[in-house]
Amino acid sequence: MSYPEPRYLGEGGEISAVYRPAATGPELVSPSGTRTHYLATHALTGGEFGLYRVEMGPGAPGPSTHFHRTISEAFYVLSGELSLFDGERWITGRQGDFLYVPPGGLHAFRNDSDEPVSMLMLFTPGAPREEYFEKAEETARRGGGELAEFLMRHDSFFTDLGGGPRKA
């Protein structure tokens, strides 16, 4: 394997780094209480990747079993215990555990514990996931054709395998 073709063609580099202090609050607090920090959005990275820190409270639900056709998703547990479905079985992910899901890979996650959990979620390439995070619960409540269109637009295809009831 070789490196990709150069995308920066200048000679001396440029000042373009973006710093985000740890004390920056979450961009989103969902109705279920999950806090999502937009660390590196698709807009910031030019579509290269999306990186989010997600903090789920005790017993917080996550999406049921689903897959993506165009993006991979990876999970890195920062603290607590995260229930992860790898397409075959539920696994308890603990601090330092990592799960990579390639395009088409079945997966789900939730916090089954009585303690909070914090994780990093990485999407490649960097799709515009922010709207999905912000509107999934509300759109799922309305259901019908609007939900079907929303899920298709956000490359989220839900199944009835392993993850309990269907939800966004």
CA-based max dimension of the chain = 54
pLDDT band at 163 (very low <50, low <70, confident <90, very high): low
| C-beta atoms surrounding 79 within 10 Å | 14
pLDDT in tens, 94-153: 999 999 999 999 999 999 999 999 999 999 999 999 999 999 888 888 888 999 999 999
* 148 vs 165, more confident: 148
The answer to whether residue 168 scores a pLDDT higher than 80 is no
Predicted TM-score (pTM) of this structure: 0.90
pLDDT tens-digit series, residues 67-103: 999 999 999 999 999 999 999 999 999 999 999 999 9
> What is d(CA 107, CA 87) in angstroms, rounded to the nearest whole number?
5
pLDDT at 167 over 90: no
- Helices 130-142 and 144-153 meet at what angle, rounded to 10? 160
28-158: CATH topology: Jelly Rolls (2.60.120)
pLDDT in tens, 22-47: 999 999 998 878 999 999 999 999 99
Q: What is the pLDDT of residue 37?
A: 97
Q: 19 falls in which pLDDT band (50, 70, 90)?
A: very high
Q: Give every CB contact of residue 8 below 8 A, 6+ residues apart in sequence.
A: 14
Q: Where are the domains of the chain?
A: 28-158
Q: What is the pLDDT of residue 162?
A: 59
Specify the pairing of strand 98-101 against strand 72-79. Answer: antiparallel
Cβ pair 92, 83 in contact under 8 A: yes
Cα 43 from chain centroid (whole Å) = 16
